[in-house]
Structure formats: C-alpha cells, structure tokens
Structure 1
Amino acid sequence: MSNPPSSAAEWRSSTQASGNGPATLTRSRAVSAPAHPATSEDETIGDDDHNVHSDAGSSDADGSEGPEPAEPSLKYTRLTGDLPSLLASDAVSAAACNDKFLALGTHWGHVYVVDFSGNLIKQFSNHSTSVAEVCIDANAEFIASAGGDGRVVVRSMFSDEDQCYEFQRPLKCLQLDPDFARTRRFATGGHAGEVVLSDRTWRGPRKVILASVDGIVLAVSWRGNLIAYATEHGIGIYDVKAARDICQAQVPFHDDRPDLFRCHMVWKDDENLVIGWQCAVLVLQIRVRGIAGPPSMFETAYQAQILVQYKSAFDLAGFAPWSRLGQSRDRPDVLTCFRPCVQDRSRLRRRGYSPVRRPTSNPPECILLNLRTMDPVVSRDSINLAHHEHLQPIDYSVIGLPAEQAYFLISPRDVISVRARDANDQIEWRLQHMHYEEALKVSLFAAQQGIAIRPEYRAVHVGQQLLTDLLEHDELERAAGLCPMVLGKDPELWERWIYVFADRDGLDAILPCIPTQSPVLNHTVYEVILAHYLSANFKGFRNLIERWPKQLYNTASLLGALEDTLLDFPNDEDLVQAAVVLYGIISCGFTSFVSFLTISVFIRSADTALRVTQSRRFSMGRDLVKFGASECISRLVQQSAVLPPGEVVELLEGRPDFQYAYLLALFKDDAHSAPDLQDHLLELLVEFRSKELLDFLKRSIYYPLDKALALCESHDLLQEQVYVLGRIGNNKRALEIMMDRMDDIHMAIDYAKGQQDEELWNDLVDFAVQKPKYWAPLFQHTGMFLDPIKLIKRVPPGAQISNLKSLLTSIVQDALAQVELRGQSHQVLREDVLTFMRQSMRYAKSSRYVTSDTCCVRCGQPFASNPQLPVTLDEFGAHHASCPET
C-alpha cells in the first residue's frame, strides 16, 4: 500500500481512468489549513461541560491579548429530550435525516427515530451488530438500515411491514433509490468488494453486481440515474439507466490506517459530487456529453472530470453542502466541513496504536469551506463534545438539509444541531461585543424583510444603545444623524434624547434633525432650544425663528426675552430681524421711531411694514437727532422697496433737513427712484443751496423745467439757470447771463462749442466785440469753430489787442497746417485710386477658366444647372448675364 502523494501534481498523475467513461482532471490544488488555534470564546450549547469555541480572535499561547473575535457563522444546540437516556448505554454509529425527523443507528443494532428536539418517535431493533448505515427515502415513508451482520432491513414508517435482505459479508454503506417507493431498489457495498443493486420482483429478491473492486466499498451515493461509490483505492460512477460505468479513477485517498476514517459522499446538485475521506476533499463534475443523437452501445451519455482537490492538514469527519444566505439554494458554493484535530498518524504508528488503547484526541472543529477560493476557510469553531478525547474521525458524521440550512453533527453520545445564525443571534452577538452600529443594520434589514425578531432587538432599542455609545465617545454629529431613523415618530423619545444632547452641549448637532411636524413635540422643548440660542447664538436664534412654525412656541413670552436681549445688543442684525418676525406674528406697533427704524427697515414683507408704519406716528426729529440720522437714513434707503419713500417723507414732516438728506441719498442711490418726490427734492436743494443741485438737474428727468428755472432765478443761481435755459432751448439768454452777469467768456465759448450752432457763435462775437478783453480768447478759438477773417473784419479800426502778433501767427500756422494736411490726404487718396484702377484693369484683361462646375459669382449657382443662360465675364469674374449686380 503506497503512501499518499505530497503535491497536487502527484494527485493528477496518480488519478487513472478506467472503464468506459474516463475521468478528466481539469484543476486540482492542495491547500493546507491553518493550525488548530488556541480557543478563547465559549458558546454554551447544552450544559456547562460541553462548549463551542471560535478561532476568530483567539489569544496567543503566552496569554497575550489578540485581535477582537469575529462573529461566528453558526449556532449550535444539543438535542436533548429522550436522547441522553437512549445513549447512556448505547452509542450512535450511523445517522440520516429529512425535514421531519432523524434516524439514528447504534452499535447495539438499534434504530431510533427522533424529532429535532430529541424526542423518540419510533424504535427498531433488527440487527445483531452495529448499524453501519441508515437511509430514508425521499417521501419519508421508509427507513432502511445496513449492519455489520450483512443484513439490510427496510421498514415502513406507517405500518409494521419489514423487508429483510441477507448478504454474505458485512456491509459498510447503503443507499435507497430516490424513487424507492415505486422501484423498491437500493444499492449496498461492504467487505465483499462489490457494489450490489438489489430490488424485489415478482419472483422475489434480485441482486445485480454493478462493480467488483479490490478491498472494501466504503461509501455509496445515489442521485437520479447515477450511483457513485468509493473504495480504498479510488472512486467510480455507474449509470443505472444505461447499465454501464461512467468512470473509475484511482484516487489515493487511503492511508496506512483506513479503518480510522469514514468516507463521505454528498451530491451538491445533479452534476457535482463531493467526496471526502481522511484529509482530502474531491469535487467531481458529471455532465451530459454534448453530442448529437443517442450514444452508441460502447459509449455513455455522461462525462466526468475532477474540478477541485483540496488537501487539508487535518482529518475529515463529515461534511454537507452549505447554501449561503442570499444565494440560490440549489447551487451552493460553500461546503460545510467538520473535522477533529487528531494526533499525527505517523506518531500513532510509532507508538504502536491498537483499538484497545486509543490516544487522547482534541475536540472536533466545525469549519465552513469555500472551495472556489485559494483561502477556503470561512469560519472555524471548536466543539467540545462529550467524551471527545476518546473519539476518532470514524466516530463522527455530519448530516444535513442544505435547503433548510439545518445540519447535525453526530458523535457516539451527542447529537448537535448546527444552523445558520438568524437575525436575533447576530444582533445579540454584536450587542455583547458593543458593535452597536452593525447590530442596528441587522435589525433594520430584518424589519425590511419581515423577519421576526425579539422586541428588545428592534431598531428603536438597538439604536438607542448605539446613540448612547456614540455620545460617550463624543461623536455627536453621527449620533444626531441617526436620530430620525432610530427615534422615528415617537415624541417622548425625541424629547428625552433632545435633553440628553442638551446636557452634553450637543444641541448644534441634533438641531437639524429635530422634527417640527409628525411628530410635533411639547412646546417647552422648542422654547428651551430657542432660549439656549438666544443666549448663545444670535444667528442660530434668527434662523430658528424664520424656519420654525409659530405654533411651536409661545410668541409673547419669547418676544419679551428678545426685547431684554435687544437692550444689551441693539445693533445686532440677527436679533433685529428675529424681532421683526415676532412683531409681525403678533401684529403690534412700536413705542418710538427708533424702535420702528432699527427693526422695521429689516422687514421683508411690505404688508407688514405698511401695517407697522400705520399703527403709530412718531417724534421723528427728536429720535433722529438723538440716535444719529446718517445711519438710520442709510438703512431707510436700503429698504426703500419695503418702506415706501412717500411714507418716510410724511413721517419726517416738520424736519426738511432730514427730508432733504433722505431724498438726496435716495436719488444718489437710484436717480429713477421716487419720481413723484423729485419735485420736492428740487425745492429742498434750492432751499439749502446744495452743491448737488446742478448734478440733480443734469441727472433727473422728472422735475418741471419752468419751475426749476423760476426757483433758480428767485435764488439767483446763475450756473443752474444757464443749464436749464439750455435744456429749454433759450441759448441766447443763457449766453447773455454768461457774458454779462457771470463775465465768463471761456464758459460762453465752451457752451457754444457744445451747441454746435453757427448763429450762437455770431451772437457770441456780437457780445465779445463790445469788450476788448474778450478779443484775445476769441482769436484763440478760430479755425474749426470760427472764421478768423470774419472775426478780424468785426474788430473796430485802431483797436488795441494784446499779443496780437502771436495770435495771428498761430492762426496762420494753423491754416498752413490744414492746407498741408489736406494736400497730403489728397495725394494718398489719388494713389489709392490709381492702385485700385490698375488692379481692376489687370483683372479685367486676364483670362478665365470656366467649366460646367463653375458657379456664378452673383447668384452662386453652377452654370451647368441652366446652360441656356448666357455667361458674361467682367473684372469680378464669370456670371449669368441676367443676374443683377450685388
């Protein structure tokens, strides 16, 4: 007997095909599992002496503290009921289950049928030695057992009918036909080295040998038309329908002591078979051949290949397919594997092992394996079973219902139920380890999916534990963000937690989440929050007043507190705006204009402003003088869209100086604002002889010109009169004022330039020649605006003009410069004309290449589009004779 291969390559080379359907190896690997860890966390499954340990987060051997333990994936429960008394003097040797009950075979030859609580349903005693295999048919109508006495007994669950089949050698395995209720067929194997198919015909029992092998047949598994079997030297698959082998492969599962291990065969689905023995796991895929037409008499309809070979460092004691939550149940990809950690078998051989004196064994482990990854171990738990120190791998087995995610770990004296942890278990574990946020996620998911959970694990309770934890770690923002989800619409919870946040100075964090409707809290809560912000954060207080509905708090009492605060901070804009909102809510007036001005100018509602202004009349002048007019007027101008200027002017009646300051500031801000008041502003500007009058006359278009002229004349405002006369069109009178009353020839000349009127220049000369001091300025502006010859002719003979020589020289030089400039301009124009003419002549004399694709330069259409039209050439190009010039 050869030793097992040491590498995946040896596994591939040692697998040989035999029979009609050779096995094809496509992928294999040998991955060593991690060493058995020191356990640190216990989960009680039955009593104080039998515990479950998880390897996640275990401490080191020296006792130092390790990483935080990971959440276990499985939940373990010991079956009690009648089992403890039944197994007190007996031991389980085989087991099977369906979705209704368990069938346990014992070493004393009994078969016990118990429910999932361990209560005895039925008991059979038909074997004289240990029961090697127990099997239940698909309809849960029959239970079959095979024993070392070479007997197979099939019993009905609903009658006293028993069917016994005798074999010559001890049996190791048994499988009923999936359709046993109709066919009455089953397959057996054992020490005879034969896989036998048995059934009952009208002639009596019939046995057909499907395969003969060297050694013992260790396991048989039946799925559909396929029977898989394993021996000490390999595996084989038989097609019952075609009555021929699919494949036989020599896979070296065996070791020097094969009697220490049980071979396990489990179908994951109709195409995948998982085989485990000793320390190896093999996944075999059987598929229908992709060929056209039926197979020949020498061919089978199936082909097999090995998908996965996994070799661990420990010994397999049983396994079952595991359906992962959230995935399709009929295609599991995670294998549940149970294995004990026994001592090295090489040490057993050196110590001369015998069945009489067994070595001490470690507890078995329950492991979730994902065979599709390079790191297959998903979860690992150590299970402290009764008398485990005296048990070997052959003493354990695993049975299960993958569709129900229900599994049973079988040992001689214990039956442990293994199930996936439900939402309650997950929440409980996470709360115990203070993973409150993860616990809340599970609780919320369970609620969304309609999964029943215990009241103390609902989101509202778990969430409050999370809030407490976050507050203890000063994570106020995160805690506040979770409040709407955790507290929901419970006003009492909201009120309690708002006070908790307030005690920790966390109102800023929870404020955006505080509900103002559905639910509405007690008004005291809102008033406490407003009082806090009124004393600590004026901007926050204003935002709350603007955002919260007025029904949430007592406006009158809040306004009283606000007025007290305004006495200390009268210029705070946020407090003023908040007061405006509150005064608008209760529709009250103010006691003085300053109160109105410092508050009402911030009112954003014109209706509210109008209501406030009409509620009282104020002593405007006294208050403006007392508190400073400039700042108040500036605010009034800024809020002119809300506070009508007419109302403000009316309130300022009796104080024209303030009216003047307000209207002038309003005009400077926007010349088109309050046009009906600009007449009044004109009167005020004239009255106060403001320097702004001329600018007002130039910018404004809303005052009457005749009234402006009369006011300027009555107050002898000459410059303003000149501007108004110019707008009226009375230029001659304006010129008289400038020449006679203002005695300003330069202003008169500039005025004449601006008007561009020849008659006005003549009038100017008429006025100027009468005063010799005006002659020199006139001579300086001859040329463009005034003919110097005419001006010289108007000068009286013998008149004395100062600096005449230089003035005449300047006039002559200007004339010469103009003549020279005109001559040069004429020369440039002449050169441009000649150049253009030469280019045109050259273009007209040059030839043109015209084809049918050439386009008319005038209409843009190709000549070929209408060949009947005559074509003409000119200096611009070819065009239709009928096309007009563009």
Structure 2
Amino acid sequence: MVALGTHNGTLHILDFQGNQVKEIAAHTATINDISFDADGEYIGSCSDDGTVVISSLFTDEKLKFEYHRPMKTIALDPDYYRNYRRFATGGLAGQVLILTKKTWGGGYHKKVLRDGEGPIHSMKWRTDLLAWANDAGVKVHDMKMDKGIAFIERPKGIPRAEFLLPQLVWQDDTVLVIGWGTSVKIAAIRTDSQGLNGMQRSITTASYQKYVDIVGSFQTSYHISGIAPFGDLLVVLAYVSEEDKENNFSNAVPSRQGTAQRPEIHLVSWKNDELTTDALPIHGYEHYKAKDYALAHAPFSGSSNAGGQWAAGDEPLYYIVSPKDIVVAKPRDTEDHIAWLLQHGWHEKALAAVEAGQGRTELLDEVGSRYLDHLIIERKYAEAARLCPKLLRGSPSAWERWVFHFAHLRQLAVLVPYIPTENPQLSDTAYEVALVALTTNPSFHKLLLTTVKKWPPTLYSASPVISAIEPHLNSSSMTDLLKEALAELYVINSQYDKAFSLYAELLKPEVFEFIEKHNLHDDVHDKVVNLMTLDNKRTVNLLIQHRDTIPPNDVVGQLLHTSQSCDKKHLLHLYLHALFETDMNAGKDFHDMQVELYADYEPRMLLPFLRTSQHYRLDKAYEIFAQKELVREQVFVLGRMGNAKEALSTIINKLEDIQEAVEFVMEQHDDELWEELIRQCLQKPEMVGMLLEHTVGNLDPLYIVSLVPDGLEIPRHVCI
C-alpha cells in the first residue's frame, strides 16, 4: 500500500493504483514523515503540530503522543509489534527519542539517544540499525547493543536543511545510502570478522566489533530531493534551477520562485556513471523548491526479508511526490521501451527490439503499423514497401489493407514486388488491383510484364486487367511492354488468337512455336509481313506448308501493300520462288511479277523459270530483259515469241557466240534460218572462220566458202 501525508494532517492509505482504501485523521497540521513497520500492519506519522501518531491499518487502534514542538521524522521498529511497539522520533527539539511500551502498566518508556546537536531532519531504521541526520551529520546506532557505531560528517557547502533535507535509505541490511545537497555517500556496515577487504576504514569505534566503511562517494551536478536503491544502482530525484546552474551549486537557496526546471530521475552507479535520465511531467514545477519533492520506493524495504529492495516477484515502484502530483515510476520493461521508442519516432529501433524477441508477439503488428504509417507520412514509400514482408508477415488482412492503402496513394508499383503469392495468399481482388495499377503508367509496364510472368495465374482473374489495358491499344501509352503483358494475359485467358496477334506485332521469336502449339495457322494470314520480318525462312516454310489455309493471294497482297519498312520485293521473291519450286502452278497469277523479281534478285534462275512456266507475258518479260540487258533471256523470249531471226541476230551481235547461234538454229529446224546465220556472219569476217568450225556436219563448208566475197580476208585458217 501507499501512505500519503497531507498538509492538513490527514493520512490517506492508497493502493498502488492510487485508489483510497482508508483515511486517518491523525494530526491538525502538516505531516512531515511517515513510517511503516515491516509487516505493513502499523503506520507512524509525525507533524508540525508536535504530535506523533501510531495507527493500526486494520483496526481502529490509534496511539497519540504530544511533544509540543514540531516533530520532523519518525521510524517504527521494523519488528514494531513484537518489540514492545518501539519507535524512534525527532524534531526541532534536537532529541532522538526512543519510546518503548512497558510490559506492565501499559505506559511507554522514553529514552533520549542524542541531544543538543540541532534539529533531527531524517531517520531510517533497518533491522537493529537506526540512522538519523541532524545539522552535524549522520549517525548510525546499534539498537541491539545500544551503542553508536558511526558518525558521518555533514558534507560541506550544501544548503541548510530547511531548504534541502538530507535523504537516508537502507540499500540492504548493511548498506546505508546518504544523499545530502549535491553529495552521495554509500556507507557499508562491517564487523571485525569481515575484515577490511582492502578498503580504507574511514570511521570506526576501536572497542566495538561493528564499524562503517565509506565504499562510495561522489558529487552530483544537481540537488538531491530523494534517493532510493535499484539493484546495484541508485535512483536519484534531481532538482535543478537556473540559479543553481549560474551559481555552480554553491551553498545558496536551491531555488528562486519561478526559476526551477523539471525535476529529473537519474539512474546512476556508485561511481556516478549515468545510465538514464528522465525529465518528469510535474505540473507547476517552475514554482517548486527542492524540499517540495519526495521520493519513496516500494515494496517497503524496512525488513531484511524484503531482500534489501523488493520482494522476489514484486515489481519495484517509485513514487515522486510534489505538492499537487504523485508520479509513479517503474523500470521500463520491453514494451515500455518499445512504446517510448515509438513515441520519440525511433521506429527502426522499436522494430529491432521486437525482432530481438522482446515483448509480446502482438507488438510486432502495432510497431509495424506505426512504422509504416510514419514512413508513409514521410513519403518514404519504397522503404515502407521493402519493410512490409517483415512487418506484415503472414497476415492476409494486414497485407490486403496495405495493398489498398498503397493503391489509394497511387504508390502500389513500389509494393508489388513484395506482395506474397503464398503464405499468405491474398484475395484475387488484391492481386487484380495491383496489376491494374501497373497499367496506368509506362514506367510501370516492365514491372507489370515481370509480375504477370511471375505470379501464378490461379491467383487472379485476367479479365479485369485485360479490360484495363485494351482501351489503350491504339494510344500512345501502349508500349511494347504493355502489349507483351497483354499477350501474356490473353494466354492466361485462353485467348490465343489475340495473344498471337500481339506476339507477331512484337516480333517475338517464339511466335512460330506458339502457332504450332495452339494451331493458329488460320490467324497467320494477316500477320505475314510481321512474321517475314521476324524470320523470313521460317515464315516461308510455314506459308508453303499451309498454302491451302494461307492462300498466295493473301500473302502477296499483304507484302505488296504493307506500310512497314521492309524489303517487301525481296520477301515476295523468297516466297514466290519457294512456292514455284513446291508447286509450279500455285502462284501462276504472279509469274509476271516473278519474272521481274528473278531479274532483280536471282537472274540465274530466270531461264529455268522461263522454260518451265507458261503463265507470264512474253512481251513484258522481253521489256524487262532488255532494260536489264539480260541477253540470253531476251533470246529465249524472242524465240518463244516466234521472232527467230531477231533472236539469232541478238546472239551474234550481242553475245558473239557462234556456237550458241548454231545451237539455236539447230533447235529451230528452219533452213532459212541457216541462210540468215551465214548472211549475218559474212558481215563479220572474224566470225566466218568460227562459223566454218561450228557448222561441220550441218552445212557444206564449200557452200559457205562460195558465198564469201572475193578479197575478204578471213583471220582464221580452216583445214578441209
């Protein structure tokens, strides 16, 4: 329980949550000090009205003692009830009084332990040891042996007690902590049997077996309004004013009205190493003085059975009392620490604390949510997205909540790479929303394509995503990446014809396997140019194999009228040549065109084509050959046109090949053509000898010689 003494002389007994459980009208003026016994059954209080009251907490029993001078401190014997209801008290009279109930008659025996050294300011009783502070210093008395064992001199240069009280607290049964002004001393009670252990024996009584070692001593940069143990550390209630800082904590009044700062709680070692410091939210702190504060700790440590500070399993609590507030302080547990980190915006440290296995697992949800909120407020969307797998873990509802939140912020693109597809699996709507969001900006289209390929198609319906993309098909926002993503979605939706159309536009090499796999030959007819541009050899083979499905008229028409930048005439040549070699009549309607294409790209194939085909116009072919100076092809066409003499003339005058001329004449089976051959050769003397050589067996050489004009010189010799 907690006992609170007020300025009107009333004692309020509270539980640790601050609820009042009992009220005792003990005094008529300010209560200066209170003390429990070790069992928590009795409470003693003293007041400026000169009275000391001992009250039972569970009965109506109450004893009152009058001293007619303000009483400043009281300490019940820890074993109060069994030790004849003994207590000690002191005040402005300067006496340390010990009162013990007599065993007979019911009265009390009073004994003065100390007198004449000024007012008694503070008093603490632990087992058989009573310590008190007056203007001279601190004294420790062995109550069992009824002897003083130590005197610790008051520190020099500290404010007077009416401004700043000395603070005494027993750390355990043998260690007394003294906080006075800006000085802290730790006094250990020893016996001769324990030895000095290498420590300097500062104060001792040579004739007595107990003595005191000062095992710790340091100065603070603040005034001490309270002190209490915390394990091997100390909790110090610090009072600081602007005036204190200016005067470097000299022996002045610790505060001037309105100049005080917030009181602070310092956790320090015996060497004054600062571990933590917390400023306290006290109302009206600017106007309070050092003496207006008090520090108490619980569970009550007056008994050696309390383990020196608090009982095993109990949580240590510290109460900072001011004129209008009681602040409860306790060691931060992990959740407090995490809450504090979050409050101060250190979300990453809070997350690290949770991940280290500190605190409840549920804390991760809270920390994660607040961390993400913080990052979103800071517009650190990418960082928030990166942390989602760690913070949201396996919670589908949490994932979906953040998917829709990122979508609302139009930042879903940064989250998509981290959205899980299993453990947990989200609703199909969440995946669809994510994919649709990626269609809205060309910079997202690469991620859209990657995601569509990566995510199992069973997670979502492709139709909503397709519907979001299709309106952009003919717009400037329709990138190739978006087209490919749409094609992948068409495949998922079993719309293979539409997928093929896009693959063909995109010139994807795998389109040929796709055609075969899904039997899409009927759909090729309007994509001939794309396929030819991608791979003309494979396309030609495909078109030839499926010429019944993809008729030559469609192929040629597309190649002729395409607006795409490609060598369409060369592609026509490749297709028509392959078609002719497979089926001579399949492309007969285009043989006139094919004559010109052969002339442009593969003249060596012209004569075999001319000899085989019957579906080209001779006059048009002749014009082409004449223009391109393809003589033998001209000769062939002239011959087929029945103009043998002109054909013969072309051979003689342009090819100058008598052997070919003879062969041509022989093929014609026309005697008049022989006469024409001789006549034209006689016009070129150098050819007469050649004619004589090549006509042996076909014409009488003497006949040819008889036609040679007299005096014509023949540059060759012929043996007859």
Q: TM-score, normalised by structure 2?
A: 0.56
2:383 is aligned to 478
8 Å contact kept, 2:141–2:147: yes
8 Å contact kept, 2:133–2:139: yes
Q: Alignment partner for residue 304 of structure 1, among 213, 226, 240?
A: 213
1:175 is aligned to 75
1:501 is aligned to 409
1:222 is aligned to 125
Matched, 1:159 2:159: no
8 Å contact kept, 1:589–1:612: no
User: Distance in 2 between the 1:140 and 1:585 partners?
Assistant: 78
Matched, 1:143 2:51: no
User: Distance in 1 between the 2:243 and 2:290 partners?
Assistant: 8
Q: Which amino acid aligns with 1:379?
A: D
Secondary structure of 1:519's aligned partner: coil
Backbone CA RMSD of aligned residues: 5.8
Q: Could you say if the C-alpha distance between residues 426 and 417 of structure 1 is closer, same or farther in structure 2, counting changes exceeding 3 Å?
A: same
Secondary structure of 2:409's aligned partner: helix
Matched, 1:122 2:29: no
Matched, 1:264 2:160: no
1:368 is aligned to 265
1:513 is aligned to 418
Shift of residue 581, structure 1, vs aligned partner = 3.9
2:653 is aligned to none
8 Å contact kept, 1:470–1:478: no
Shift of residue 157, structure 1, vs aligned partner = 1.9
2:278 is aligned to 379
Matches within 5 A, 1:558-597: 558=465, 578=485, 581-582=488-489, 584-587=491-494, 589-590=496-497
Matched, 1:334 2:238: no
Instruction: Please list every run of 5 or more consecutive structure 1 residues that lacks an aligned counterpart in the other structure.
Output: 1-99, 324-329, 637-644, 662-686, 689-886
Q: Could you say if the C-alpha distance between residues 445 and 147 of structure 1 is closer, same or farther in structure 2, counting changes exceeding 3 Å?
A: farther
Matched, 1:231 2:140: no
8 Å contact kept, 1:114–1:120: yes
Shift of residue 518, structure 1, vs aligned partner = 3.5
Shift of residue 338, structure 1, vs aligned partner = 4.2
Secondary structure of 2:440's aligned partner: helix
Matches within 5 A, 1:131-530: 131-147=31-47, 152-164=52-64, 171-183=71-83, 184-191=85-92, 193=94, 195-203=96-104, 205-206=108-109, 214-241=117-144, 243-253=146-156, 257-270=160-173, 272-286=175-189, 291=194, 298-300=207-209, 303-312=212-221, 315-316=223-224, 318-321=225-228, 330-338=231-239, 360=257, 362-363=259-260, 365-372=262-269, 373=272, 378-380=277-279, 383-385=282-284, 393-394=290-291, 396-401=293-298, 403-411=315-323, 414-419=324-329, 435=345, 437=347, 449-450=359-360, 462=370, 465-471=373-379, 475-483=380-388, 485=391, 489-490=397-398, 493-502=401-410, 506-516=411-421, 518-520=425-427, 522=429, 524-530=432-438
Instruction: Please list every run of 5 or more consecutive structure 2 residues that lacks an aligned counterpart in the other structure.
Output: 197-203, 300-314, 553-571, 579-603, 606-720
Secondary structure of 1:489's aligned partner: helix
1:632 is aligned to 535
User: Distance in 1 between the 2:19 and 2:281 partners?
Assistant: 23
Q: Could you say if the C-alpha distance between residues 446 and 339 of structure 1 is closer, same or farther in structure 2, counting changes exceeding 3 Å?
A: farther
Q: Which amino acid aligns with 1:613?
A: K
Q: Which amino acid aligns with 1:549?
A: P
1:54 is aligned to none
Q: TM-score, normalised by structure 1?
A: 0.47
Matched, 1:540 2:447: yes
Secondary structure of 2:519's aligned partner: coil
Q: Could you say if the C-alpha distance between residues 169 and 119 of structure 1 is closer, same or farther in structure 2, counting changes exceeding 3 Å?
A: closer
The one-character-per-residue Cα deviations of 1:579-623 (angstroms, maximum 9, x if unpaired) are 66445434455499987777897559xxx9588436244698997
Shift of residue 261, structure 1, vs aligned partner = 3.5
Secondary structure of 1:478's aligned partner: helix
Asked which structure has the greater RCO (Cα within 8 Å, sep 6+), the reply is 1
8 Å contact kept, 1:232–1:254: no
The one-character-per-residue Cα deviations of 1:649-691 (angstroms, maximum 9, x if unpaired) are 9779999989999xxxxxxxxxxxxxxxxxxxxxxxxx99xxx
User: Distance in 2 between the 1:592 and 1:262 partners?
Assistant: 89
8 Å contact kept, 2:264–2:277: yes
Matches within 5 A, 1:792-803: none
The one-character-per-residue Cα deviations of 1:769-789 (angstroms, maximum 9, x if unpaired) are xxxxxxxxxxxxxxxxxxxxx
Secondary structure of 1:479's aligned partner: helix
User: Distance in 1 between the 2:322 and 2:134 partners?
Assistant: 23
Paired-residue identity, %: 22
Q: Which amino acid aligns with 1:532?
A: T
Q: Could you say if the C-alpha distance between residues 600 and 333 of structure 1 is closer, same or farther in structure 2, counting changes exceeding 3 Å?
A: farther
8 Å contact kept, 1:268–1:332: no
Q: Could you say if the C-alpha distance between residues 169 and 546 of structure 1 is closer, same or farther in structure 2, counting changes exceeding 3 Å?
A: same
Q: Could you say if the C-alpha distance between residues 399 and 623 of structure 1 is closer, same or farther in structure 2, counting changes exceeding 3 Å?
A: closer
Q: Could you say if the C-alpha distance between residues 176 and 396 of structure 1 is closer, same or farther in structure 2, counting changes exceeding 3 Å?
A: same
Q: Could you say if the C-alpha distance between residues 335 and 609 of structure 1 is closer, same or farther in structure 2, counting changes exceeding 3 Å?
A: farther
The one-character-per-residue Cα deviations of 1:746-780 (angstroms, maximum 9, x if unpaired) are xxxxxxxxxxxxxxxxxxxxxxxxxxxxxxxxxxx
User: Distance in 1 between the 2:522 and 2:361 partners?
Assistant: 71
Q: What count of residue pairs does the alignment treat as equivalent?
A: 519
8 Å contact kept, 1:542–1:574: yes
User: Distance in 2 between the 1:595 and 1:129 partners?
Assistant: 96
User: Distance in 2 between the 1:482 and 1:491 partners?
Assistant: 12
User: Distance in 2 between the 1:248 and 1:509 partners?
Assistant: 72
8 Å contact kept, 1:363–1:385: no
User: Distance in 1 between the 2:577 and 2:175 partners?
Assistant: 100
Q: Which amino acid aligns with 2:43?
A: I
